Every structure is written in structure tokens, then in C-alpha cells.
């Protein structure tokens, strides 16, 4: 019987303010490590602080398994971190803020930016703030995913709710191994 701990890595990405840091915080069993700094550009119109390198949290599953949660910076100027963070990851959770001006463009941008990683791993899409702005709706996102010829489940989530974020992680793990039971 092996005594080694199993480590898995999942990446959260998406535009500034989509809920990446909050999602990791809501799931992490340890205090998260965050590289938030005061926003100094147009980002400060959406929030006062922004991730500049990464966020990190961890889920402990018994004594033998750890799921490491990494959040990317949302700003394109920090995109050099995206490739670094995706190394060795199982999959990607893309969070999109439904209240942004053009969430369809955000979807297209992030799926293109991570296309190489998505082609090797799995993708799950979570739509935040859909309760604040119900247009577009969840079916619009599913249609846009189909138009991009990407296979990915799409969920409406509240990044503050552990169960919602857990559903995203479970869906990602299920796409990797359909025999997984939650």
C-alpha cells in the first residue's frame, strides 16, 4: 500500500473580477496565498485590488490526496504567468463575469489564449453574476462554446458559494475520469 500523497493541479482563469480569487478562497482548506496589489489601470473601475502573479489554495482529500488550486491574473499584461501556471495542470476552470460588456468576447479571448492547454486538458466554464444580469443566459454560452467547437460543460455559479465551486471542480474531474463519484 502506497504512502505517497497524490497531487493534482487545477487552474482558474478568466477576466478581472470574474471571481477567481473568491472561488479559490471558498474552496481552500488552507489560507490562500494571494498576490493581490492595488489596481492602477482601468482595472480599478471594476475592483480596488487585482491578482498580479497568482492565487493559490489547496483542497485536502483525506490524508493521501491534495488538489492544488491556482488562479491566474486576469489582465492580459500578466499573460506570461498563464503558461507557467498551467504546467502540470489537469484542467482549466474558466470563470466569466456575465455583467461585463461583452462576455462572448471574453469567452473567445480566453479559450484562444489557453487553446494549446485546452487541447491537452479539460475545460469547465462557470458563469458568475448571472443573477445580476440574466442576459446573456446560460444557453447563449453553451451555443458560443459549440460555435468555437469546444467541448466543455457550462454552469452558472456564485464564486462565494463552496458548493457551486465544488460543482465546477467535480465536473472537471469527471471529464477526466468518468468513473469518479462525488
Phi, psi for residue 116 in degrees, rounded to 5: -65, -45
pLDDT at 146: 96
pTM of the model: 0.87
Q: Are strands 65-71 and 49-61 parallel, antiparallel or unpaired?
A: antiparallel
pLDDT at 50: 58
Considering only CA atoms, which of 110, 38, 116 is closest in space to residue 76?
Answer: 110
How far is 136 from 154, CA to CA, in rounded Å?
13
pLDDT at 91: 94
pLDDT in tens, 102-125: 999 999 999 999 999 999 889 999
Mean pLDDT over each residue of the chain, to the nearest integer = 86
How far is 127 from 82, CA to CA, in rounded Å?
20
Q: Is pLDDT of 2 > 70?
A: no
pLDDT in tens, 30-81: 999 887 655 555 545 554 565 656 799 999 988 888 999 999 987 776 777 7
pLDDT at 109: 95
Question: Taking the domains of the chain in order of start, what are their residue ranges?
Answer: 6-176
Domain spanning 6-176, CATH class = alpha beta
Amino acid at each position: 500500500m502506497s504512502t505517497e500523497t497524490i497531487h493534482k493541479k487545477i487552474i482558474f482563469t478568466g477576466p478581472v473580477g470574474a471571481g477567481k480569487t473568491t472561488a479559490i478562497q471558498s474552496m481552500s482548506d488552507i489560507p490562500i496565498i494571494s498576490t493581490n496589489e492595488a489596481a492602477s489601470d482601468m482595472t480599478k473601475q471594476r475592483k480596488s485590488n487585482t491578482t498580479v502573479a497568482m492565487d493559490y489554495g489547496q483542497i485536502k482529500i483525506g490524508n493521501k490526496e491534495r488538489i492544488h488550486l491556482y488562479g491566474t491574473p486576469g489582465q492580459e499584461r500578466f499573460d506570461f504567468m498563464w503558461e507557467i501556471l498551467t504546467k502540470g495542470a489537469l484542467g482549466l476552470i474558466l470563470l466569466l463575469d456575465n455583467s461585463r460588456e461583452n462576455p462572448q468576447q471574453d469567452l473567445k479571448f480566453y479559450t484562444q489564449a489557453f487553446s494549446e492547454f485546452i487541447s491537452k486538458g479539460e475545460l469547465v466554464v462557470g458563469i458568475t453574476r448571472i443573477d445580476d444580469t440574466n442576459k446573456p443566459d446560460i444557453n447563449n454560452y453553451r451555443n458560443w462554446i459549440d460555435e468555437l467547437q469546444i467541448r466543455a460543460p457550462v454552469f452558472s455559479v456564485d464564486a462565494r458559494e463552496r458548493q457551486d465551486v465544488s460543482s465546477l471542480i467535480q465536473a472537471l474531474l469527471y471529464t477526466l475520469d468518468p468513473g469518479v463519484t462525488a
